[in-house]
């Protein structure tokens, strides 16, 4: 069966609205700033970082500005074109590819980042994508994930209900059940930690990291 492809905004018609929507509803400066700081923590200057599902490139460009050698991977040529047009994009290597078949050699990255990616994938594809992240990480390298977690109050449950209307319930099910932490552990990663839980207009956003043994 062909892999189901989901554009960054859930539906292709919304692609050019993705950046404004994230800025208005996602506390973007807060969550991207914290995620960027977590990825760069302890990273040697020029060390390789792979941003999987890089979308319109905001995080990849910020990581490159922080001194990392960044490869941004996405399966959508339209969002990659938007990313390449942004200020600072020349510091990033942009590659077309999918999370389940990364166009990278094994043990080639010190960090892998998956920001707002995994919830777009069905259960099998999530596990394949995490296995690919483990494959390309060097031993001791870290995976960083920003994605939806279990809503912890009625307001966040209402926001998550609205998110399911946009992105569909299948990919979100394990996230909203609070199973994201376990997915990372099941992929063979160690030292799984939740660093932040942020309230947003679409639900509870979790920032996690885990290490390849």
Domain chopping of the chain, boundaries: 12-211
Phi/psi for 36 (5° steps) reads -60, -45
Amino acid 22: pLDDT: 61
Report the predicted TM-score, pTM, of the whole model to 2 decimal places.
0.88
Amino acid 16: pLDDT: 55
The tally of CA atoms less than 13 A away on the side-chain side of residue 132 is 22
> How many residues are recorded in the chain?
213
Amino acid 23: pLDDT: 55
Amino acid 3: pLDDT: 45
Task: Indicate the class that CATH gives domain 12-211.
Answer: alpha beta
pLDDT digits (tens, 9 = 90+) for 158-212: 989 988 988 888 999 999 999 999 999 999 999 999 999 999 888 899 999 999 9
Q: For residue 75, what are its two tokens? A: 């399966």
Task: Render each residue's pLDDT in the chain as its tens digit; 213 residues.
Answer: 334 445 544 444 445 555 555 655 666 788 899 999 999 999 999 999 999 999 999 999 999 999 999 999 999 999 999 999 999 999 999 999 999 999 999 999 999 999 999 999 999 999 999 999 999 999 999 999 999 999 999 999 998 998 898 888 899 999 999 999 999 999 999 999 999 999 988 889 999 999 999
Q: Strand 69-74's sheet: what is its strand order?
A: 92-96, 69-74, 48-52, 109-115, 137-148, 203-211, 190-200
Which spans in the chain are helix H? 18-25, 28-40, 58-65, 77-84, 123-136, 154-167, 169-176, 180-186
């Amino acid at each position: 069966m062909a892999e189901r492809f989901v554009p960054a905004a859930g539906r292709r018609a919304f692609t050019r609205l993705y950046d404004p929507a994230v800025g208005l509803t996602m506390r973007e400066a807060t969550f991207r700033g914290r995620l960027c700081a977590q990825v760069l923590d302890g990273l040697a200057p020029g060390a390789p970082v792979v941003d999987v599902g890089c979308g319109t490139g905001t995080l990849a460009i910020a990581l490159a500005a922080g001194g990392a050698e960044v490869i941004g991977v996405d399966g959508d040529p339209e969002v990659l074109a938007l990313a390449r047009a942004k200020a600072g994009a020349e510091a990033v290597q942009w590659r077309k590819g999918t999370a389940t078949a990364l166009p990278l050699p094994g043990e080639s990255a010190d960090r892998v980042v998956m920001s707002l990616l995994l919830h777009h994938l069905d259960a099998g594809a999530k596990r394949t994508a995490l296995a690919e992240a483990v494959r390309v990480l060097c031993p001791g390298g870290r995976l960083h994930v920003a994605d939806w977690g279990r809503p912890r109050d009625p307001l966040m449950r209402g926001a998550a209900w609205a998110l399911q209307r946009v992105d569909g319930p299948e990919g979100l099910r394990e996230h909203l059940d609070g199973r994201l932490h376990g997915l990372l552990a099941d992929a063979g990663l160690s030292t799984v930690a939740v660093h932040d839980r942020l309230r947003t207009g679409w639900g509870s956003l979790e920032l996690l990291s885990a290490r390849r043994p």
